[in-house]
């Protein structure tokens, strides 16, 4: 699909811009092809997990995040058969495999469970305005319409520096914030080239963390404004030295670098239209059979204890 720029009320031009949506991504990770496995062909079992009823396994696996479910499926063929027998997971694989590929590509698969993904895909309303939500914001797994996706700052992820500047957080506060990894490539109608994968943080979660740290939204904004003011003072104090040495200095940023034409300041567009410049499937690191089975066993123990 090509981009469109409106010149006047009756005139528009097509932009030479490739969208790189998930529909165009390399489908080497064809999870939906593994739905037809023979249940009697597995040579090895799941160890102690085989003693549990299948229904308990299904409930436990649905509570795992998408990345953990993917890691569990890599244990052996029996694990793939058990995971593929979950009705909700089968429907996701059959009808929305791009959602799984996208979350694995962007490294957001640990932010939400398989059950949460299934429930989000089963709804139709935008999480922000209630209109039809044709997109999926993959950082926090929320339905969103096109207008909210492109106009609301809630769906504009922030870089690490922006999180520090806007909400007065420090590196110790970032560990639990939902995040994603961007993809190198050319983005926006201007064809901006981004060479590195950047870590971007969810705007809403970062704001909530800032309010929790500072107490109120007003205190957070006041602290952030004071930090920017101190940076400007430090910049101005060094200005005479730069003028004598003829070394250009960079003015501290006080506003967002958002051009108003799209919500894509960084190389992404959350949801089924995630911008991917290279058709590369990035999957999580395999952590080993023992750790995966122990994680599932711990989850089962917690549920039984409740």
pLDDT in tens, 109-121: 999 999 999 999 9
Are 213 and 114 within one domain?
A: no
**Is 208 domain-assigned?**
yes
The owner of tokens 């959350």 is 270
**Is 138 domain-assigned?**
no
pLDDT in tens, 28-58: 455 555 556 666 677 888 888 989 999 999 9
What pLDDT sits at residue 194?
A: 78
Are 174 and 234 within one domain?
A: yes
**Is 177 domain-assigned?**
yes
Sign of CA dihedral 87, 91, 97, 99: negative
Are 248 and 162 within one domain?
A: yes
In three state form, how does the secondary structure of the chain look? Answer: CCEEEECCCCCEEEECCCCCCHHHCCCCCCHHHHHHCCCCCCCCCCHHHHHCCHHHHHHHHHHCEHHHHHHHHCCCHHHHHHHHCCHHHHHHHHHCHHHHHHHHHCCCCCCCEHHHHHHHHCCCECCCCCCECCEEECCCCEEECHHHHHHCHHHCCECHHHHHHHHCCCHHHCCCCCEEECCCEEECCCCEEECCCCEEECHHHHHHHHHHHHCCHHHHHHHHHHHHHHHHHHHHHHHHHHHHHCCCCCCCCCCCCCCCCCCCCCCCCCCCCCCCCCCCCCCCCCCCHHHHHHHHHHHHHHHHHC
What pLDDT sits at residue 13?
A: 64
- Structurally, the chain folds into a number of domains equal to 2
**Is 260 domain-assigned?**
yes
Are 284 and 259 within one domain?
A: no
**Is 3 domain-assigned?**
no
Cβ distance 170 to 242 under 8 Å? no
**Is 176 domain-assigned?**
yes
| Residue 114 lies in domain | 25-129+279-306
What pLDDT sits at residue 4?
A: 58
* Cα R_g (the chain), whole angstroms: 23
**Is 149 domain-assigned?**
no
Low-confidence stretches of the chain (pLDDT beneath 70) = 1-10, 12-40, 187-189, 235, 239-306
**Is 296 domain-assigned?**
yes
Are 36 and 116 within one domain?
A: yes
What pLDDT sits at residue 272?
A: 33
pLDDT in tens, 219-235: 988 888 888 777 777 76
CA dist 66 and 109 (Å) reads 5
- Percentage with pLDDT > 70 across the chain: 63
Are 249 and 162 within one domain?
A: yes
Residues 6+ apart with CB under 8 A from 279: 24, 25, 26
Are 59 and 96 within one domain?
A: yes
Are 211 and 284 within one domain?
A: no
Crossing angle for the helix pair 77-84 and 54-63, nearest 10 degrees?
90
What pLDDT sits at residue 260?
A: 46
């Amino acid at each position: 699909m090509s981009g469109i720029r409106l010149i006047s009320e009756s005139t528009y031009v097509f932009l030479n811009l490739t969208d790189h949506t998930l529909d165009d991504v390399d489908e080497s990770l064809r999870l939906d092809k593994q739905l037809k496995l023979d249940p009697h062909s597995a040579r090895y079992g799941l160890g102690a997990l085989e003693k549990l009823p299948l229904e308990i396994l299904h409930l436990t696996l649905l509570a795992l995040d998408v990345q953990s479910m993917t890691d569990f499926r890599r244990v052996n063929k029996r694990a793939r058969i058990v995971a593929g027998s979950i009705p909700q997971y089968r429907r996701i694989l059959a009808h929305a495999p791009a959602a799984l590929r996208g979350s694995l590509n962007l490294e957001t698969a640990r932010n939400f469970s398989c059950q949460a993904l299934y429930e989000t895909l089963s709804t139709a309303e935008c999480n922000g305005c209630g209109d039809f939500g044709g997109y999926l914001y993959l950082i926090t797994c929320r339905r969103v319409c096109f207008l909210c996706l492109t106009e609301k700052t809630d769906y504009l992820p922030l870089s690490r520096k922006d999180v520090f500047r806007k909400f007065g957080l420090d590196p110790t506060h970032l560990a639990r914030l939902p995040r994603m990894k961007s993809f190198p490539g050319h983005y926006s109608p201007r064809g901006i080239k981004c060479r590195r994968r950047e870590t971007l943080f969810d705007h809403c979660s970062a704001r909530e963390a800032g309010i929790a740290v500072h107490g109120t939204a007003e205190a957070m904004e006041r602290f952030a404004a004071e930090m920017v003011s101190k940076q400007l003072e430090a910049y101005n104090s060094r200005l005479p030295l730069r003028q004598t040495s003829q070394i250009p200095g960079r003015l501290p940023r006080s506003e967002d670098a958002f051009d108003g034409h799209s919500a894509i300041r960084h190389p992404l567009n959350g949801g089924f239209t995630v911008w991917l410049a290279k058709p590369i499937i990035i999957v999580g690191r395999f952590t080993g059979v023992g750790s995966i089975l122990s994680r599932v066993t711990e989850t089962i123990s917690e549920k039984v204890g409740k």
